[in-house]
Amino acid sequence: MKYIVLDLEWNQNPNEKRRPNPMLPFEIIEIGAVMLDENRREMDTFHRLIKPGVYHWIQDSVHQVIHIDYKELRKGVPFPQAAEDFINWCGEDFRFCTWAKQDLTELQRNMKYYYLLDLLPGPLIYYDVQKLYSFSFEDGKERRSLKAVIEQLNLPKDQGFHRALSDAAYTARIFQQIDEAYLKGYESVDVFQNPRDKKEEFHFFSGGQERLISREFGNRERVMCDKDISGIHCPVCGGETLPVPAEGDDRKKPSWFMTSARSYLQISRCPEHGFVAGRIRIRHTQADKYFAVKTLRIVEEQEMLELLEKQEMWKEKKGK
């Protein structure tokens, strides 16, 4: 499998007197990518400047950061051509790697605008290198800038920042430093293209973790009534789990605890594989539908205790 380390630069509405296009709030103006082989060695690079088709001037704040002149963009290629070139260059059997999570969403949004989304079917499994760096080198919660991490790792700064190809190259160098242990079980899933029906539902298993991206429902209440979504089991063996009792809790079966209007948590125990943490996040689509992103994962006792503590805090807050 190849790794495609991707970075994008985009523009937005440059005219305060006009409303942005609601179908394309961010228009991609540059694509940069580095291809790595299965051993994370560099194989090739890709770069395209894109001639704008929606916002015909660069917003001042964007120009201050990325330093792309509009005259330079006029020599670029239309987005449909750049997107098709990029997807063809990626080939088959690859996984995207990005710094943070917005690039893949904006790539798909731009492709959808030009009716090209069938070239990149989703949901997309990818590596968020910013997140991987935090888990591999820090506490798993901190999120640092690309430049800060390059400096922390003492990697060479031989190019500028905030251009697509150079940022992709820097991201690739950081990705090469990530311990291989974090490449299984730490994948991210982009749900810009969420499943519409039962046949499209997305199941993903990796490193003691299971994810379900559900089909769409007409309202939030119906989401949690679905047995596949609300069902609780061990993500490793698929067996039944037992409740982890909190103080004053006499449940015989694990249940979900609502942490917000669109988020649920459960903690249980598999007799064979240990503690299981479950989380459900309910997402709202542009078409006014709802779907669930459910995660079940094996956790250590310390994390289980921290989750129980949070659960008690949420109960107290809800009681007030």
Structure tokens at 12: 């937005």
Measured in whole angstroms, how far is the alpha carbon of residue 65 from the centre of its chain?
Answer: 24
Between CA 294 and CA 229 the distance in angstroms is 7
**Residue 162's pLDDT is what?**
84
Q: What is the pTM of this model?
A: 0.85
Q: pLDDT at residue 15 above 80?
A: no
**Residue 159's pLDDT is what?**
86
221: pLDDT confidence band, cut at 50, 70 and 90? confident
Burial class (CB in 10 A: 0-12, 13-18, 19+), 128: buried
Between CA 48 and CA 58 the distance in angstroms is 17
63: pLDDT confidence band, cut at 50, 70 and 90? low
| Secondary structure letter of residue 84 according to DSSP | H
Pairing of strands 290-299, 209-213: antiparallel
Between CA 170 and CA 156 the distance in angstroms is 9
Q: Domain 2-183 is in which class? A: alpha beta
Residue closest to 110 by CA, chosen among 241, 205, 21, 216 = 21
Between CA 272 and CA 110 the distance in angstroms is 46
| Secondary structure letter of residue 77 according to DSSP | B
Domain borders along the chain are 2-183, 195-319
| Domain 195-319, CATH | 3.30.530
CB burial of 290-316 (b: ≥16 within 10 Å; e: otherwise) equals bbbbbbbbbbeeeebeebbeebeebee
Q: What's the rounded mean pLDDT across residues 89-118?
A: 96
